[in-house]
Structure 1
Amino acid sequence: MKKQQKLQELISELEVYIKSLSYNRATQLKYQRGWKLLNDFMSKNSIEFYNSQVGEKFIFSIMKNRPYENLSRKEKDLLRVANVTSEFQVTGVIRFRSVSKKYDFSGEIGKVILNYLEHLKFKGNALRTIEGKKIHLLRFLDYLKANNIFSLKTLESQHILQFINDLGIYSNASIHHVVGTLKGFLKYLYQKEILLTDFSYIIPKIGYKKESKLPTTYTKEEVEKLLKSVDRANPKGKRDFAMILLAARLGLRASDICRMKFENINWKQNMIRIKQTKTARTVELPLLTEVGNAIIDYLKYGRPESDLSYIFLCMGQPYGKLKEPTLHSIVTFYLKRAKIDNLDKKKHGPHALRHSLACSLLEQKTPLPVISEVLGHSSTESTKTYLRIDLNSLRQCSLEVPVLNSPYYIQEVN
C-alpha cells in the first residue's frame, strides 16, 4: 500500500529532481507558482494528502468543461504542473514530452561525419565521448552549409579558421573541446585520403587547462546520519537505502547503480562484477554483508514484480529502470532530511558519497593503487586529486617558516 504523502513533502522531492534536470530559472518559478495554487486548492477543500485524484480535481477546477485549446497559456501551465506532480509521485521520474532534436547529417559531408563517428566507435571510444563529438561536428557542418559549402573538395583553410574564430562567444572549455574534435576529424580525412591536404596543422592551440576542483566530501558521522534518515519500513525506503549504500560503501557511480542487473551480483562468491558506464572498465567489488542484506530486503519486500533484469526500478507503473537524475534527487532529499550542516555549500548527489569513501580510505592510510581499484579508475592519476583533501597527511608535509633576518620584519617571540 502506498504511503500517504503531503504535498509539501512531495514538492521538496520534485523540486530537487527538477533542478537536477537543469531546468532554467523561469521554468522552476512556473512550477513553484503552480504548486502554490495547488496547495491553496487543497487547503480550501480541506484535503490533507496529495494523490492523482486530487490532481484531477485541481485540473477540473481550472478547465471547467472548456476544451484544452481554449485555455490560456498560464492555465495550460497549471495543468502541466498538476500532471507532472502526479506522474512523479507514481513513477519517480518526469518523462520529457518535448520533441527531441534530430541531428541533420544529410549531404556528402554529413555522411563522411557519420562514417567518422562509426570509426571512433570501432576504435572503442565511449558512447558519451562520441555523442559529444557528434554535437561539435554538427556545429561545424551547419556552419559549412550556411556558407554554401556542400563538398569537401571546396573546403579551404580560411573556412576552418573562420569557423574557429566564430566560436569566440563560447566558453574556453567549449572552444577547447570543439577545436579538439575538429582537429581529429581533419586528421581522419587526410589519413583516409578523403582530403589531399592535412588541414589539422592549421588548428591553433587553445591555451585551456581544466581547473581541478576540490571534491565534495562528507564525514563518516554525516554519512551515517544520512543512512539513518532513510525510512526502511516502506518499499521506497528499502530501495533508496540499498542504492545509497552502494554509493557510500562501494563508491559506485549513479549510472552504474541505476544500470545494475541481477547478473552483476555473484551471491555465492559475495562479489559484484560490473562494467562501468563511464570508462567501460570492468571492476570487481566485494558484496559487503550490509550492502547484500539491504539489496535482499528490497528484492523480497520492496521491488515491484517485473521481468526487467535491472535491480532498481521505479516504484509506480510503468516499472521502468530508475534514471540517474532520480537517484541524485533521492540522495539530496535524504541529506536535507538528515539536516547535514552547510549542505547548501556542498554538492549533494551520489557522487559526493563516492568522494567521501575515497577520503575515508585515505584517512585509513589505504594505498593509492588500492583506492584506484575500488573506485574503478584506469590509473592512479585520476585518484591523485583526492590527495588534496587528505589534510592530515598534508600537514605532515608542511615546513617550518624560516626566520627572516630583515629590518622590515620583526620576529615575534612567544
Structure 2
Amino acid sequence: SHITYLGRFLDSIGFETNEKALLDLSLKQVEDFLGTCSKALNRYSLQHVVGYLRAFLRFEYSRGVLQNQLHEMIDTPRVYRLEKLPRSLPWTTVNELLLSIDRTDTQGIRNYAMLLLVATYGLRSCEVVSLTLDDINWRTATICIPQGKTDNKLVLPLTDAVADALIDYLKNGRPSLSFREVFLRIRAPHGRLKPTAVTEAFQRQVRLSGIDIPYHGPHCLRHSFAVHLLRQGTSVKVIGDVLGHHNVESTCVYLRLAIEDLRSVALEVPDYADIDICVDANAINGLPQVRSWKKVKSSMPLQSFLAEEITAYLQLHRSLGKIYGTENCTLRSLDTFLAIQCSWAEELSGRLFIQWCDTFANLTPTVRRNRMRIVRNFCLYRRRSHPQSFIPDILTFPANNLQFIPYIFSSTDIARLLSAAQQLPALPQSPLRPQVIRLAIILLYTSGLRRGELLRLTLGDFNSEESTLFIRCTKFHKERIIPLSVTADTELRAYLKQRQRCGLPMKASSPIIWNNAGGPEGRAYTGTGLAHNWRLLCASLKILTPKGIPPRIHDIRHCFAVNALLRWYHNGEDVLAKLPQLSTYMGHVSVVSTQYYLPFVESLRRVASTRFEQKYDSLIKD
C-alpha cells in the first residue's frame, strides 16, 4: 500500500517527467491528491494514505529536499471508536458454515480445524497460524493460545470437538515435515502459514457453502463467539478472559448486541388519564423569545475576499469525511458580513473579527465560543499560505458555561404530554399529526434517543421480529441497536397499522416521524417542526423551566437516564453493574460520557442515601 499510493502521489505531481517536482511541492498539491483519493476510499483507508504521505514528506524534509514541514500541515480524516457494530453472525449460521465444509480431502480437513478453533475459542487469525504442537497438552486436555496482540499465553480447556478435529488433521491432513506449527501449507512450497491463509480458507468455504455471509474475514467468527457467550448469560469478565482482553471496555463492545440485556434498560410508556387536558394554540405566543442566530442559505454564493479560501477549506475537510455543517453556516455568516458590511476590506483583522462576533452577542457563551473557534481554525488554515494573516486569540473567547442543569420530567409529566399530543389537530401536510407527535415523545422518553436520531429513523430500521430499532448516522458516526420496551413496541406497531390503513407510504426508506411535505412520498419532520409542536404542548400544560420557557427536547434524554437509574434503585438491583448497559444503550463509548446525563437531582439523592443507609447504617452506629 505504501508503494502504491506514494507512486500515485508522485505521478499526480509529475515527478516522472520533472525530478524537481518535489522541490516545488505545495500544500495544495497534497490536498488535491487526498481529495482525489477520497472519492474511492472510506475514512479508515484514507487515514492510512495520510499516514503514508506524512512519513514520506517527513523523510524528504529531513533530507533537505523540502523547505517546508508539509508533513505537519496535512489534516487527517476523523475516525471514532466503535463506529460500527461488531460483525456478528447468528450462531446457527456459524454451525451451518462449519457443517458445510467437505472433510473428505486434505484442504477441507485443515480448513475445518482452523475455523473450528476460531469459532470455539474466538481466536485471531495470527493466533491460529502460530499455534504449535507443543501448545496442545493431550494429557491435561488443555490448549495454550499464544496471543499475538498481547504476547501473553492463554490456557483454555481442549473441547472434544476441537480435539477430534485436530487429531483428524494431524493424522490425515498435515504434511509430515519438521515444522512445529500445527497448520502448514498443503501445496509446495511447504511451510508455515501466514495469517492471510485463514482469511482465504474462510472465504473459500463461504463461497462453496452458498451461505449469504456479508463479511469477508474470519474475525466475524470471533465476534459471533463473544456474542453467543453473552446471550447465554456468560459474564463480561469471563468473556474478556477467554478473548484475552486486558481492559473490560474492550469486551463491553459486545454488549451492543446483547439484545435482551439491553431491553431491561428501556422504559415503559407511562399511563395517565386526564380528561381536562387541552391544547391551546395560542399558549406559545406569550412565551419569552427563544434566542436564535440567523443562518445564511448554503445555496447563496460566497462573495467576500475569503470566498475562494472558504470553499477550499470546506472542500478539503469534507473530502476527509467530515460533515462540517455548522462550520459551513458559520463561515458563510462571516463571508456575508464581510461582503455586505465591510466590502472595502481586503484582509481579516482583529477589529473586523470583533465586529462580526457582535452580530451574535445574544447567544450563550458556549455557542459564541464555538462559532469563534470555527473561524480561528479557518484562520490557522489560512496561515499556512498567508504567514502574516490574523489569528484570533483563544484567551479572549467567552468561557464555557457551567454544566447545563436539565429539566427532569416526571412520569406524570410525560403521560400528560402524551395525552395532550392526542388532542393536536391534524393538518393537510401532517394527516397523522397527533399520532406522529405522540410516537415521537414515546420513543424519546422510552429509548433516550437524540432528536436527530429520531428524525432519521426509517421504517426499514424497525426490526419487527426482535422489536429493535437500528440507529445509524448518529453522533460521531456511531451505529447501535436499541431494543424497545413492550409498551413502546405496542405503540409503534399500532401507529404503523394506522398508517397502513390510511394508505400512507410504507416503503422501507420512508421516515417513521413522517409528514406529507416535500413530495408524494413525504419526508421526515424537521427539527424545527418537531420543536414547535413540543413547545406548544409544554406551554399548554404549563411545563416550564424556572426561566418561564419550555424545556429542551434534549432534556428528555436526561430524563431517560435518570429514570432508568431510579427504577434500578427501586428494584434493588446493582446500579454499578447496570451502568455499562445504560451507557451502551445510549450510544456512549464510556460510562464517563453517561455521567453527564445523570445530574444528582433530589430523587436520585434520596434513593441513593436510603440504600447507603440500609447497607452501612449498622457500621456507622457501631
> Do these two structures clear the TM 0.5 threshold for a shared fold by scoring above it?
yes
**Match of residue 558, structure 2, among 307, 330, 355:** 355
Aligned pairs for 1:59-138 (under 5 A) are 103-106=300-303, 109-138=306-335
8 Å CA contact 1:336–1:343 kept in 2: the answer is: no
**Alpha-carbon deviation of 1:217?**
1.0
Please give the alpha-carbon distance, in whole angstroms, between the structure 2 residues aligned to 1:107 and 1:345: 41
| Offset of residue 111 of structure 1 | 1.5
Contact 2:287–2:549 at 8 Å: present in 1 too? no
SS across alignment from 1:386: coil
CA shift for structure 1 position 283: 2.4
Q: Secondary structure at the match of 1:272?
A: strand
Task: Return the match for 1:177 from 344, 364, 370.
Answer: 370
| Correspondence 1:212 to 2:403 | yes
- Name the CA distance, whole Å, in 2 between partners of 1:232 and 1:164: 49
Question: Which whole-Å CA distance do the structure 2 matches of 1:209 and 1:389 have between them?
Answer: 21
List aligned pairs for 1:17-32, cutoff 5 A. none
Equivalent pairs counted in the alignment come to 305
Q: Is the 8 A contact 1:258 1:323 kept in 2?
A: yes
> For residue 515 of structure 2, what is the aligned residue in structure 1?
314
Residues 583 and 591 in structure 2, CA contact (< 8 A), matched pair in contact too: yes
> Equivalents in 1 of 2:398, 2:321: separation in Å?
28
Instruction: Calculate the TM-score normalised by the size of structure 1.
Output: 0.59
More helix by share: 1
The yes-or-no answer on 1:376 pairing with 2:575 is no
Contact 1:276-1:282 at 8 Å conserved across structures: yes
Match of 2:452 in 1: 255
Aligned to 1:405: none
Residues 101-135 of structure 1 show CA distances to partners (whole Å, capped at 9, x for unaligned) of 85442466311111101222233434433334333
Distance 2:375 2:545 in 1: 43
- Can you give the 5+ residue segments of structure 2 that lack an aligned partner in the other structure? 1-277, 427-431, 570-574, 610-622
Q: Tell me what 1:224 maps to.
A: 415
Higher relative contact order (CA 8 A, sep 6+): 1
Residues 248-281 of structure 1: per-residue CA shift (max 9 Å, x gap) = 1001123222221122122223221112555432
Q: How much does 1:204 deviate?
A: 5.0
Residue 305, structure 1, aligned to residue 487, structure 2: no
TM-score if structure 2 supplies the norm length? 0.42
Letter aligned with residue 117 of structure 1: L
Three-state SS of the structure 2 residue aligned to 1:105 is coil
Pairing 1:390–2:390 present: no
Q: What amino acid maps onto 1:288 in structure 2?
A: S
Aligned match of 1:328 = 531
Q: 1:136 to 1:378 in 2, by over 3 A?
A: farther
Cα contact 1:137–1:181 (8 A) shared by 2: no
Cα drift, residue 382 of structure 1: 4.2
- Flag the structure with larger Rg: 2
Give me the whole-angstrom Cα distance separating, in 2, the residues matched to 1:21 and 1:327: 18
Amino acid at match of 1:216: Y
Determine helix, strand or coil for the equivalent of 1:214.
Answer: coil
Question: What is the CA-CA distance between 1:215 and the residue it aligns to?
Answer: 0.5
Which of 160, 163, 174 aligns to 2:349? It is 160
Q: For 2:417 and 2:281, how far apart are their aligned partners in 1?
A: 16
SS where residue 273 of structure 1 aligns?
strand
User: What is the CA–CA distance in structure 2 between the aligned matches of 1:244 and 1:148, rounded to whole Å?
Assistant: 49
Q: Specify whether residues 107 and 224 from structure 1 end up closer, same or farther in structure 2 by C-alpha distance, changes over 3 A only.
A: closer
Contact 1:230 1:334 in 2 (8 A): yes
Distance 1:21 1:256, change over 3 A: farther
**1:19, 1:386 → 2: CA distance?**
27
Distance of aligned partners of 1:339 and 1:209 in 2 relative to their CA distance in 1, 3 Å threshold: closer
Please tell me the root mean square deviation across aligned C-alpha atoms, in Å. Answer: 4.2
8 Å contact kept, 2:447–2:560: yes
Q: Is the 8 A contact 2:470 2:481 kept in 1?
A: yes
Contact 1:246–1:252 at 8 Å: present in 2 too? yes
Return 320-329 or 233-242, whichever deviates more: 233-242
| CA positional deviation for 1:286 | 0.6
What secondary structure sits across from 1:388 in the alignment? coil
> Residue 382 of structure 2 aligns with which residue?
189
